[in-house]
Amino acid sequence: MLVETTGLADPTPILTETVVRHNYKLDLVVTTVDAMHGLRGEESVKQVAAADRIVLTMLDAVSASNLASVRRMVEALNPSADLIEASFGDIDPVLLLGGGEDRVPEQPFESALHPDVKAHSIYLNEPMSWSAFAVWLTMLLASRGQDVLRVKGLLDVGGSGPVVLNGVQHAIHPPLHLDRWPDDDRRSRLLFITRDIDRGALERSMRAFDSTASVNQGV
Amino acid sequence: MCSLCSALLTDHWTEASGGRRGGVLRVQTVNRVLSHFDLELRDWAGRVYVLHDRKGRSSVVDDLGSLWREAELLLGRPLDPLDSALVRELSA
């Protein structure tokens, strides 16, 4: 099922709608960005943050330098999304709707092109307790859900493979347990796209919650 | 919302790992956090979890998602995991 929203839609209510969530599996979110006007308004920032794939359009109407500027902004806001350029709707459907990579940029990474919204990557060298992470993330979303635009990545919880996480604000998709890691890098790697939240505070808090699980000898 | 939809609401993403032991450990972690705010989550008759404050007030909690909403109602303010005092206490 393909859902096309209006240009000003906030993606979160669609992703969190109960009947949709329990009857359909989200495949991917595709966002188009008009290269001539760039990102304008809160909704466009949320749409880029929620995207797995971003298509830059109106390429013929902008200069190379303006296009590069919009591209840099979009990449800084959501470094994990596939970025495709298309003119007059000319795009390979497989490229648009096919499978892609789940990328979390190498740390240290912190984008700073948008005044309020930033992408942070957090890498952990040791497994984290799933219980501690679940408690932490639900608490974060309850208190700061409007400011946590995206959470995605791979979490090492001590199993043979990682847990795949993907969330847009309060909408956390059912975590997926993989039997093995996709590559030789066995570190947890999480991307957060947030508004007015410091990366250091995120990591310190997450580690503090994980330390409680070591006391509990937790999962 | 129809009764079918409300039944589906008990399926929370945090239950995806750990099984029964994971559930117990989540309660232990939750109570370490809640103690900072003078709140406590208790099991009632093995059937439901009830959140208590020091003033004798309580509320039933369905899952982690609703826990923090109920805690905020009892406390009168959001519980922020980034709060530096909470982070220091948990790290100690």
pLDDT at B5 over 50: no
Check if the beta carbon of residue A211 is closer than 8 Å to that of residue B90.
yes
What ipTM was reported for this prediction?
0.83
State pTM to two decimals.
Answer: 0.84
For A219, the closest of B22, B32, B87 (CB atoms) is B22
Please name which of A189, A213, A98 lies closest in space to residue B32, comparing C-alpha atoms: A213
A87/B contact by beta carbon, under 8 A: no
CB neighbour list of residue B52: distance below 8 Å, 6 or more residues apart? B39, B40, B41, B42, B58
Q: Once rounded to an integer, what is the mean pLDDT over residues B26-34?
A: 90
Contact A139 B68 (CB under 8 A): yes
- Mean pLDDT for all residues in chain B: 81
A163/B contact by beta carbon, under 8 A: yes
pLDDT at B11 over 70: no
Angle between helices A130-144 and B19-35 (to 10 degrees): 50
DSSP annotation of A37: T
Tell me the C-alpha distance between A20 and A147, whole Å.
Answer: 23
User: Which residue has 């459907």 as its token pair?
Assistant: A93
Beta bridge partners of A124: A188
Least confident residue range of A115-119, A177-181, B62-66, B69-73? B62-66
Q: What residues of B are in contact with residue A134 (Cβ under 8 Å)?
A: 13-14, 17, 26, 64
Per-residue pLDDT band at B26 (split at 50, 70, 90) = confident
Contact A138 B67 (CB under 8 A): yes
Distances in whole angstroms, Cα of residue A168 to Cα of each of A51, A118, A145: 9, 15, 9
Q: Considering only residues B57 and B5, tell me which one the structure prediction assigns the higher pLDDT.
A: B57
Residues of chain A with confidence (pLDDT) below 70: 99-103, 106-112, 214-219
For A135, the closest of B29, B82, B91 (CB atoms) is B29
Tell me the C-alpha distance between B56 and A89, whole Å.
Answer: 63
The reported pLDDT for the residue numbered A218 is: 42
Contact A142 B72 (CB under 8 A): yes
Cβ atoms within 10 Å of A74's Cβ, excluding its own: 23
Residues A173-185 as b/e (b if ≥16 CB within 10 A, e otherwise) read bebeeeeeeeeee
Contact B25 A129 (CB under 8 A): yes
